[in-house]
Amino acid sequence: MKTYKLTAFEQDGKKILDEAFQAASDDEAKNVGENLLKEKGLDENTHRCTSPAGKLILFHR
């Protein structure tokens, strides 16, 4: 399992979510990240999810 980082922002750039989670693959991490954002009502905010290697897995502006 790898540790991925999910971050969401307000329109003014203020960080409102900074959460790490475990996933077996980039595809699984993308799904987990999307679900976490939906659960927290942040799926329409600017967000990103990055892999341990710094690869951008999920992004919305």
Contacts for 61 with CB less than 8 Å, ≥ 6 apart? 46
pLDDT at 15: 97
pLDDT at 55: 96
Q: What is the pTM of this model?
A: 0.90
For 13-28, b where at least 16 C-beta lie within 10 A, e where not — what string? eeeeeeeeeebeebee
pLDDT digits (tens, 9 = 90+) for 9-51: 999 999 999 999 999 999 999 999 999 999 999 999 999 999 9
